[in-house]
Amino acid sequence: MDAFGIALGLVVAGDAKLLAIIALSLRVSLSAVLLASLLALPFGALLAVGEFPCRRSLVVVVNGFMGMPAVVVGLLAYLLLSRAGPLGSFGLLFTPAAMTIAQALLVMPLLAALTRQIVADAWREYEEQLHSLGATVGQAIATLLWDTRYSLFTVLLAGFGRAIAEVGAVMIVGGNIDGVTRVMTTAIALETSKGDLPLALALGAILVMLVLVVNALTFATGSWVQRKLG
């Protein structure tokens, strides 16, 4: 129970360092999800609607990548961004931008796979009508993404949950630098290894609360949509 006391104390006291860590976590994970969604949503919809060779294999691959270990994604991002890597010249390694990119790569398959599922369900219902009205593939995708927007919002929240909870990728490409790239999960890992268990637990409690809030939002949105749009 001590941990919750400390957590509460830290939050109430408005500990500047803690707040900065929380803010950075939110900023990195939110931008990662937004960045990933720009590609993953249209791509997921294309997998649902499009007719092209290897579509089924692509779906299997994307679904499989949902469970990609965060450290592996971190390693790939590290190779991309390191000095010798293809994006090395931008000098992004060990910056929040690098962490955003790594988390975006991490959640992209999750967003694409869930989007594909949701859009495919809607497409089954809409297909003949949209063909009848003469919709192109692009128009169909835009229509389906718009019409499933509330369900897709829960997909984004799921992506955010995965991003903010992971530690492997941000640790590798961010480096857990105090005041620069330290986020909640890396801070917890550090405090645990230093032996400051109460502080680690306190941070953990705050993280869990954040994730709970996100899930409550997801649930509330879902039932609101059900009531409003049928």
For the bound state, the minimum distance from the C-beta of residue 219 to another protein, rounded and expressed in Å, comes to 20
In DSSP notation, 147-177 reads HTHHHHHHHHHHHHHHHHH--HHHHHHH---
| CB nearer another protein, residue 24 or residue 156 | 156
Is there binding between residue 132 and another protein (CB under 8 A)? yes
Q: Is 129 in the site for another protein (CB under 8 A)?
A: yes
CB-wise, 79 or 142, nearer to another protein? Answer: 142
51 part of the interface to another protein, by CB under 8 A: no
| Under rule CB under 8 A, residue 226 binds another protein | no
Helix axes 149-165, 16-49, angle to 10 degrees: 130
The yes or no reply on residue 124 touching another protein (CB under 8 A) is no
Q: How far apart are CA 186 and CA 173, in angstroms?
A: 11
Q: Which stretch binds another protein (CB under 8 A): 19-27, 129-137, 190-198, 203-211?
A: 129-137
CB 31 within 8 A of CB 95: no
Q: Given the complex with another protein, which of 29 and 151 has the nearer CB atom?
A: 151
Please report which residue ranges of the chain form alpha helices under DSSP H: 2-13, 16-49, 55-65, 70-81, 96-132, 137-147, 149-165, 168-174, 184-194, 197-229
Would you tell me which residues interact with another protein (CB under 8 A)?
Answer: 125-126, 128-129, 131-135, 139, 143, 147-148, 228-230
